[in-house]
Amino acid sequence: MLDFIYKKELTMIDKRYNPEDVENKWYSFWLEKEYFKAESKSDKPSYCIVIPPPNVTGSLHMGHALDITLQDIMIRWKRMSGFNTLWLPGTDHAGIATQNVVEKDLVKHGTNRHALGREKFIEKVWEWKKLHGDRIISQLKSMGASCDWSRERFTLDDGLSRAVKEVFIRLYEEGLIYRGEYLINWCPRCRTALSDLEVEHEEKQGKLWFLKYGIVGGEGFITVATTRPETFLGDTAVAVNPDDERYMNLIGKKVRLPIIGREIPVIADEFVDSSFGTGAVKVTPAHDPNDFDMGKRHGLHFINILTGDGMMSEEAGPYKGQDRFECRKNVLKDIEKSGHLETVKEHNHAVGHCYRCRTVVEPYMSKQWFVKIKPLAEEAISAVKGGSVKIIPSGWENSYFDWMENIKDWCISRQIWWGHRIPVWYCKEVKSEECKVKSGVIVSGETPDSCPYCGSKDLHQDEDVLDTWFSSALWPFSTLGWPDDTEELKTFYPTDVLITGFDILFFWVARMIMMGQKFMGREPFRHTYIHALIRDEEGKKMSKSKGNVVDPLELTGEFGTDAVRFTLAAYAAQGRDIKFSRKKVEGYRHFINKIWNAARFISMNINDETVISPVRDIENLSLGNRWILSRLNEVSGEVNASLEDYRFNDSASILYQFVWHELCDWYVEMIKPELYGDDIYSKNASISVLVHAFEATLRLLHPFMPFITEELWRQLPVRGKGESICIERYPLYSDGIRDEAALNKMAVVIDAVTGIRSIRGELNISPSLELKAMIRACAGIKEVIDENIAYITKLAKAEIEAGSEIVSPEGAATAIRPSMEIYVPLKGLFDIDAEISRLNKELAKTEEAFNFVDKKLSNAGFVSKAPQEVVDENRANYAELKNKIDLIKDKISRIKSWKE
């Protein structure tokens, strides 16, 4: 091989790193060169991730930033490892969310969707999507997302619409989709049904009202307790437990509802909990899910007292037309006036809210479309239990099984206009027996001209649209061309990993597994990595109302995208929420600067006479060079292994420790005498190894921080490199490069230097002051010390004496290391008695502060009445002071031992 003569003027690296200029430059370059594009057919092994499609209404938040960072790390790593990678991007039409945004905009302009009509309104939503829908995509790109943007999909595009219709028709024909009148979750604000998962429950301080119902044909009352007194208007029974002796004589009799006077039966049902309230419960089959089931069991009448907008219906009698909460006030006033309110108690209970608009939802009787889910769930349970889908961390599997084994049929119809309209038409005439048998229901992928059963042209399409999650459940295979048998499906399905948050494990992940098993015959992805929640630095959930939301775009603007990405990866430990703060990003921005300065150091040590040679004859290199090559090899293996296991924080930690402490601190300091010396061979050998190690390190770092690594890699004097680091090979571990002798010898050097440095630091001895250090070590270790005495002397700034017979002189500080004992005589350097006196004063002051905080925290009144943030601050201060006391005591004890 020929040596590469490096010309210094080619690599003038700026003094400071400017992320904005670098990021824009290289992302545009990557797109222009089409490095992110996947091949439909390839000899390379395939690797595919489908992006969890963000809502088209969305803007980048910290959860997105974490999602994108972890996915991009995996894709860039696999791309550099020789895989044909596809990261398929797209956005979700987000039915209710998008419709709400556009409706609010219409209100500002003095109109509403009903005034426009369905078709015009849908046109308005498409116009909004065209103007604003690409915002989230641009933000994903700003995070460095290396998606194949030529394959971007939208859950309402023509291809996905076709897939949705195909799935609906097949499930309907198999009897797995049906329509029926059931009790569903209803949002009066959005005026649509919600699935159980779309209802968010909050603990509220409420009341339990005890209402008295008079016994018909007898004296006395039966008392029932309720949190929703207005629903008594829909009561059709009172239920008691058949074993409850208090009420056995009333079973089969009737009671009379106050105010409206309706007579209803007293029934016996084992569902009733005798210990709750009075042991008698009012039964409102049309407005409570448990009562619905009880009503079915006992053949009760179902009375719907609400309208779709949360107003009282005709069935509410004198309260017709009132808002539900206004009705509650009026009902309570009237019941109290009539003497039928026995008592009221405070009561904590969970209140369901719409996940989009936060309106209190109502259990509501309505005709809806459902998926019969248990047959699909059984296959999805087997997929996880059998190992074809692996959930990481495995702790989430129990939650998955618990939900799937108790799953209820999925309500898939929504009473909105934006979304996949249900592909069902109704024949109004029903002119044939076959049409009667079919109940006039026509399910078709295309708009029918006439009824296929009776020929009637009087058809009307179902007004509802499908739940957004219905189309999202098909995402892994619909985006690859299903129902056609495409090359993309053959190459990339099943996909390799889905990376997402735990909040959509049931909304989306479980449903994708069900649909993948059903329509593709196998799992949609091999691994599901569930990342943790990003909280604020105190561990609290981020929310706009708390004012603790962190904008990732502000952070990338201030610190650069690479610093934000590396921070997220560094704290992405499996099963542990991330306590996030700006200070952490700032800390990793310093790491970016460290890397940048290392590159500048290289450029400053290359001149016109420098020869950058291929690294060879490793056994003849100096210890420092052999050691860094061996450590680089080990680190390559460790990073690859941790990425295989989705241990992103471990990967980041390994790289940080290697770059900052081993490459930049130990290695660079060790080779400085060679770089600054007159021996041309040693100088060129060391600069060649340094360039080689740094170039490989940039490749290791690239998936985590793509921008700075591309910028620096392009300027390195490495012969034969390609156009971009993003398509270079990722470093791998090799047994042939491991140098056990170099690793062991360097461990001795590090022990000696860190031992001396620890004494210097502990006693606050100036770094400029040269020490005398005596090292007691066995013959083999002494030999290593002697061989590398120049390194140890320079790095420790100490005169070294080593031997197996050395004993500690009087008044010497001691450091114990695995292979040696280090003694530093303190005479003339350090006054032990004065230091002990100083430490005792510091201890007394710290104990005084500790006792003050301890007294406050021992005061129950302070803990219960002070603001929580003040209490938390005092607890943190308590722990910090206690730790400081322990450290001071330990230091005093060790210094005293030096006098003995």
264 close to 254: Cβ distance less than 8 angstroms: yes
pLDDT confidence band for 898 (50 / 70 / 90):
low
pLDDT tens sequence across 333-383: 999 999 999 998 888 878 888 877 888 888 888 888 999 999 999 999 999
Query: What does the radius of gyration of the chain's CA atoms come to, in whole angstroms?
Result: 36
Q: pTM of this prediction?
A: 0.84
Instruction: Read off the pLDDT band of 625 (50, 70, 90).
Output: very high
Mean pLDDT of 128-138: 88
Contact call for residues 148 and 88 (beta carbons, < 8 A): yes
Q: Among 78, 81, 88, which Cα is nearest to 40's? A: 88
| Rounded CA separation 23/80 (Å) | 20
Distance separating alpha carbons of residues 168 and 256, to the nearest angstrom? 47
Residue 756's nearest CA partner among 821, 835, 830, 810 is 821
Q: Which amino acid is at 135?
A: R
Alpha carbon distance 658, 699 (integer Å): 14
Closest CA to 741 of 775, 778, 784: 784
Q: For 473-525, write each residue's pLDDT tens digit.
A: 999 999 999 999 999 999 999 999 999 988 888 889 999 999 999 999 999 99
Compute the average pLDDT of residues 406-411. Answer: 90
What SS3 class is residue 844?
helix
Higher pLDDT, 597 or 134: 597
Q: Tokens representing 104? A: 């609010």
Task: Examine the pLDDT at 1 and tell me if it is beyond 50.
Answer: no
Where residue 304 falls among pLDDT bands split at 50, 70, 90? very high
d(CA 72, CA 83): 14
Residue 189, helix vs strand vs coil? coil
**Alpha-carbon span 632 to 27, nearest angstrom:** 28
8 A C-beta contact, residue 392 and residue 574: yes
Residue 900's pLDDT is 59
Q: Which residues contact 830 (CB under 8 A, 6 or more apart)?
A: 763, 765, 813
3 three-state secondary structure: coil
Residue type (1 letter), 888: I
Query: For the chain, how many residues are written?
Result: 900
pLDDT > 90 in the chain, percent = 61
CA 209 to chain centre: 42
DSSP per position, 53-100: PPBTT----HHHHHHHHHHHHHHHHHHHTT-EEEEE-EEB--HHHHHH
**Cα–Cα separations (whole angstroms), residue 352 to 185, 327, 364, 685:** 9, 19, 13, 70
- Side-chain-side CA neighbours of 491 within 13 Å: the count stands at 22
With 60 as the cut, is the pLDDT of residue 856 above it? yes
β pairing state of 390-392 and 413-414: unpaired
The DSSP line for 508-543 is: IIHHHHHHHHHHHSS-SEEEEEEE--EE-TTSPBP-
Burial class (CB in 10 A: 0-12, 13-18, 19+), 750: middle
> What is the DSSP secondary structure assignment for residue 389, as one 8-state letter?
S
Neighbours of 252 (CB within 10 A): 10
**Does residue 9 register a pLDDT over 50?**
no
d(CA 333, CA 85): 67
What the block records as the tokens of 151 is 């394959």
Terminal Cα distance for the chain, rounded: 62
Distances in Å between the Cα of 128 and the Cα atoms of 62, 105, 106 are 25, 10, 11
User: Please, what is the average pLDDT of the chain?
Assistant: 90
What is the per-residue DSSP string for 669-710? HHHHHHHHSS-HHHHHHHHHHHHHHHHHHHHHHTTTSHHHHH
What's the DSSP call for residue 249? Answer: G
- Residue 722 predicted with pLDDT over 80: yes
Above 80 in pLDDT, residue 11? no
Q: What are phi and psi of 491, to 5 degrees?
A: -85, -40
Q: Which sign, positive or negative, has the C-alpha torsion 66, 67, 71, 76?
A: negative
Give the pLDDT band of residue 779 (cuts 50, 70, 90): confident
- Identify whether the C-beta of residue 160 lies closer than 8 Å to the C-beta of residue 153: yes
The β-bridge relationship of strands 390-392 and 192-194 is unpaired
Describe the chain by its helix, strand, coil percentages, rounded to 5.
50, 20, 35
